[in-house]
Chain A
Amino acid sequence: MRVVRVLLAAAVGALALAGCAPVQSGSTSSAKDEKSGQLKVWLFDEVNRGPKEEVVKQAVSEFQAAHAGVTVDVQYIQVSTRAERFKAAFSDAKSAPDVAEFGNTDLAGYVAAGGFADLGQDVAAWSDGKDLSPRVTDTAKVDGKTYGVPWYVGIRALFYRTDVFAELGIAPPATLDDIAATARRIRAAKPDLLGISVGGKYTYGMLPFLWAQGGDLAAQQGGKFKSTVDSAEARAGIAKYTELLRDDSCPPAQCAGNGGDASVEAFRAGKAAMTIGGNFNRTAVDSSAAAGKYAIVPLPGKTAGSIAPAFAGGNLLGVTRSTDRRTLAVQFVELLGGKQYQQKMYQAMGNLPTFTDLQNTVAAEKPVEKPFIDTLNAGTRFVPVTPGWAKVDAQGVLPTMLQQVASGAQDVNTATAAAAQQMNSAFGS
């Protein structure tokens, strides 16, 4: 133990003497605004990247043709390691891109780290900008400032197997309460099927239940966020959702560990009668065991005919604060994020556009997208816009809460109280 004590004493002594502090990389905003050279762009890699790459290539050639002496270097980064990549980029301007695609739930953390530039005036002056859906634009804002152009949105709805429903002679659930009853009825009649495929890690599948009951994740009080998952309404929603994670609809041993992808995967494998899936899952389901045997409806709300508020997930295109080519970067964002290329991205990848007029065209031309657009228009909600949310997300606070209830280790009140405490601690620091 003496070694330890000596080491500790030495370290503390060195601290006291030198008065040192851990390294900080200093302000990252750049004063330069060059009009030529290389523009570095980071986009997310996808499972099936080909079509996306094709559209981006067109945008790059168009941009390079219009700007002599400018080259665009596009890098595709992995979603799973994005946190490390972005952290490194914010700490060292040299390794940072000029333009980046990123998820809107990560925005608050990135802005707090000083990573992205305020694009409010650029978007206001942009001809396409006025048609951006206000609900979606809100997910690009922190404290009233806009830090990105919404590139596409992801909306979830209820997928169900038409053949199973027809065979059992039942209709898709009309209210949120009906979902559990329908799921139980199907599993009782067909024990090989999950009544509904959801998961203990599927936070975005759970949130509509919480919101539909009138609950929310957090409330802002005097500039600080305070968790409200332990409110009566939120608890009611969480109870409704976890009711699905039982042996009579989606057994915890199979479902408790699942996130969104795994939940949809069970539906794709033909092992579930319902699931909560996104418009971005549609192509994958169309090439699976469930192809041609399923339909999509908006996730019903508390009363018949209403729609449960969906999570407004989606990706933004932003300009880093450290860029040396701000004007060029904004122009590239406006090209790739503009109507023309959003339309192309929709055709290539099925990504829902963020412009109201484009959304209406899509819904009119493609009935299969209508449930998603209807859900979007019925009003979407979002996670708390604070850097604390990134911590809540990384620490898996909500999945742990759902899994505690699903596994029977804790009841809803205990689990939500613990989650609220952890969320407050993340918001507080």
Chain B
Amino acid sequence: MAFAYLAPTLLVLAGLLGYPIYQLVLISLYDYNQEQVSGNAPLNFLGLGNYQKLLSDKQFWTVLAQTVGFAAVCVAGTLLVGTALAVLATRVRAVPRTLLFLAALGAWATPAVAGSTIWLFLFDANFGLVNEVLSGIGLHGMAGFSWTYGQWTAFGLVAAQVIWCSFPFVMVTLYAGIRAIPGEVVEAAALDGASTTRIARSVILPLLRPLLLVVTIQSIIWDFKIFTQIYVMTNGGGIAGRNLVLNVYAYQQAFAASEYGLGASIGVVTTVLLLAITVVYLRVLKRSGEVL
């Protein structure tokens, strides 16, 4: 009986999720290039050949490590900024709070390509506002400094942009969470003599845990799959590809070069990694007693 109720959902999921994943796995097992797509060359079954090629490529591991590190920094930054501003928003009056929210929503609403381009303008080596201001306040070494040339400055710049456009989600969610905590609970703790830090650590934080988990996992998935910001701001992966992340690498190595088989195998690897993260997330949720 339960299955009958679930059937419509399962059908939609099978069509929209199952079939594409099936095709992705299927294509990843073949030597599938443009020649094969347009029927001008025979199909060649490779088995796990594409995976072997991918996993034995040193650059893939470098890019994977960079992706993990970059995502970690972005997630930590996003959570830190988002939480701090959410707390700030609960402490200020209505007018500054409205301004804060307007600014955050503006950043949130800016399309990724436009946001990246504007940041590039701001950080342009010769005409950028940032270098102008920095050299104006006495840091003359910053005139003509190229932010996108060095591997770490480029990653830092992109990470800052990613944090800028994704902290509003964290901020809005946590603000709602903090507001939903009943005033009596905090008041009772205060009457019992708990300090502000103690209240934050032992009362507010545990109550916010489920929300924090959700925004963390969401951020991990988003930042792991980052494409636009890296592609636009580092001009397709930086000098000699040293700013590549997994998605840009997949696009450059596989899809732009029409190696759909190899591209599909990268897709499968990414999917498995993200599935693993999600499974861990579900486990943690279950253990913390949340009803799914």
Q: Tell me, in angstroms, the Cα distance from A175 to B74 when the chains sit together.
A: 50
The reply to whether B276 and A4 contact each other, CB–CB distance below 8 Å, is yes
Chain B contacts of A409 at CB under 8 A?
240, 242
- B149 interfacial contact with A, CB 8 Å: yes
Give chain B nearest CB distance to A28 CB in angstroms.
6
The reply to whether A3 and B275 contact each other, CB–CB distance below 8 Å, is yes
- A31 interfacial contact with B, CB 8 Å: no
The reply to whether B259 and A14 contact each other, CB–CB distance below 8 Å, is no
Chain A contacts of B148 at CB under 8 A?
257
Given A1-B279, A4-B275, A11-B21, are A200 and B239 also a contact pair (CB < 8 Å)? yes
Chain A contacts of B257 at CB under 8 A?
390-391, 394-395, 426
The reply to whether A395 and B37 contact each other, CB–CB distance below 8 Å, is no
Proximity bits, B245-282, A CB within 8 Å = 1, else 0? 00000001100111100000000000010011001000
The reply to whether B25 and A11 contact each other, CB–CB distance below 8 Å, is yes
Given A15-B29, A28-B39, are A404 and B240 also a contact pair (CB < 8 Å)? yes
Chain B contacts of A20 at CB under 8 A?
26
Chain A contacts of B256 at CB under 8 A?
83, 394-395
- A400 interfacial contact with B, CB 8 Å: yes
- A208 interfacial contact with B, CB 8 Å: no
Given A4-B272, A4-B276, are A28 and B240 also a contact pair (CB < 8 Å)? no
The reply to whether A394 and B235 contact each other, CB–CB distance below 8 Å, is no
Given A15-B26, A254-B146, A394-B256, are A24 and B36 also a contact pair (CB < 8 Å)? yes
Within 8 A of B (CB), among A9-54: 11-12, 14-15, 20-28
Give chain A nearest CB distance to B251 CB in angstroms.
9
- A371 interfacial contact with B, CB 8 Å: no
Q: Tell me, in angstroms, the Cα distance from A395 to B275 when the chains sit together.
A: 28
The reply to whether B276 and A252 contact each other, CB–CB distance below 8 Å, is no
Proximity bits, B30-61, A CB within 8 Å = 1, else 0? 11111111111101010000000000000000
Q: Tell me, in angstroms, the Cα distance from A404 to B238 when the chains sit together.
A: 11
Cβ contact of B38, chosen from A4, A28, A390, A407, cutoff 8 A: A28
- A396 interfacial contact with B, CB 8 Å: yes
Chain B contacts of A83 at CB under 8 A?
256, 258
Cβ contact of B259, chosen from A24, A391, A399, A404, cutoff 8 A: A391
Cβ contact of A257, chosen from B39, B149, B253, B276, cutoff 8 A: B149
Give chain B nearest CB distance to A195 CB in angstroms.
16
- B241 interfacial contact with A, CB 8 Å: yes
Residue of A nearest to B251 (CB): A394
- A90 interfacial contact with B, CB 8 Å: yes
- B71 interfacial contact with A, CB 8 Å: no
Chain A contacts of B43 at CB under 8 A?
21-22, 24
The reply to whether A24 and B39 contact each other, CB–CB distance below 8 Å, is yes
Chain B contacts of A257 at CB under 8 A?
148-149, 235, 239
The reply to whether A87 and B34 contact each other, CB–CB distance below 8 Å, is yes
- B236 interfacial contact with A, CB 8 Å: yes
Stretch touching chain B among A110-118, A120-128, A134-142, A329-337: A110-118
Residue of B nearest to A429 (CB): B31
Chain A contacts of B150 at CB under 8 A?
253
The reply to whether A254 and B125 contact each other, CB–CB distance below 8 Å, is yes
Q: Tell me, in angstroms, the Cα distance from A254 to B150 when the chains sit together.
A: 11
Give chain B nearest CB distance to A3 CB in angstroms.
6
Interface majority SS on A: helix, strand, loop or mixed?
helix
Q: Tell me, in angstroms, the Cα distance from A4 to B276 when the chains sit together.
A: 8
Residue of B nearest to A409 (CB): B240
Within 8 A of A (CB), among B113-154: 125, 144-146, 148-150
The reply to whether B37 and A403 contact each other, CB–CB distance below 8 Å, is no
Residue of B nearest to A83 (CB): B256
Q: Tell me, in angstroms, the Cα distance from A318 to B32 when the chains sit together.
A: 26
Chain B contacts of A21 at CB under 8 A?
26, 30, 43, 45
Give chain B nearest CB distance to A198 CB in angstroms.
15
Chain A contacts of B144 at CB under 8 A?
254
Cβ contact of A11, chosen from B22, B149, B236, cutoff 8 A: B22
Q: Tell me, in angstroms, the Cα distance from A212 to B86 when the chains sit together.
A: 63
The reply to whether A25 and B239 contact each other, CB–CB distance below 8 Å, is no
Give chain A nearest CB distance to B173 CB in angstroms.
26
Give chain A nearest CB distance to B141 CB in angstroms.
12
Q: Tell me, in angstroms, the Cα distance from A113 to B145 when the chains sit together.
A: 45
Chain A contacts of B258 at CB under 8 A?
83, 87, 109, 390-391, 394
Within 8 A of B (CB), among A389-429: 390-391, 394-396, 399-400, 403-404, 406-407, 409, 426, 429
- B27 interfacial contact with A, CB 8 Å: yes
The reply to whether A253 and B149 contact each other, CB–CB distance below 8 Å, is yes
Give chain B nearest CB distance to A220 CB in angstroms.
19
- B23 interfacial contact with A, CB 8 Å: yes
Q: Tell me, in angstroms, the Cα distance from A143 to B162 when the chains sit together.
A: 48
Give chain A nearest CB distance to B224 CB in angstroms.
16
Cβ contact of A253, chosen from B25, B146, B240, B272, cutoff 8 A: B146
Cβ contact of B26, chosen from A22, A200, A403, A426, cutoff 8 A: A22
Q: Tell me, in angstroms, the Cα distance from A3 to B39 when the chains sit together.
A: 35
The reply to whether A387 and B35 contact each other, CB–CB distance below 8 Å, is yes
Residue of B nearest to A27 (CB): B39
Give chain B nearest CB distance to A185 CB in angstroms.
22
Chain B contacts of A22 at CB under 8 A?
23, 26-27, 30, 32, 36, 43
The reply to whether B279 and A3 contact each other, CB–CB distance below 8 Å, is yes
Q: Tell me, in angstroms, the Cα distance from A8 to B22 when the chains sit together.
A: 9
What residues make up the interface of A, taking CB atoms closer than 8 Å to B? 1, 3-4, 7-8, 11-12, 14-15, 20-28, 83, 87, 90-91, 109, 112-115, 200, 252-254, 256-257, 387, 390-391, 394-396, 399-400, 403-404, 406-407, 409, 426, 429
A-B contacts, 29 listed (Cβ < 8 Å) = A3-B275, A4-B275, A4-B276, A11-B22, A14-B22, A15-B25, A21-B26, A21-B30, A21-B45, A22-B23, A24-B37, A25-B37, A25-B39, A27-B40, A87-B38, A90-B34, A91-B38, A112-B35, A200-B239, A252-B149, A253-B145, A253-B149, A254-B144, A257-B148, A257-B149, A257-B235, A395-B256, A400-B240, A409-B240
What residues make up the interface of B, taking CB atoms closer than 8 Å to A? 21-23, 25-27, 29-41, 43, 45, 125, 144-146, 148-150, 235-237, 239-242, 252-253, 256-259, 272, 275-276, 279
* 3 interchain residue pairs of minimum CB distance: A114-B40, A403-B240, A394-B256
Question: In the complex, given contacts A8-B25, A28-B40, A91-B38, what are 19 additional A-B residue pairs having Cβ atoms less than 8 angstroms apart?
Answer: A1-B279, A3-B275, A7-B275, A11-B21, A21-B30, A22-B36, A24-B43, A90-B37, A112-B40, A113-B34, A114-B40, A253-B145, A254-B125, A257-B235, A387-B33, A391-B259, A395-B257, A400-B240, A407-B239
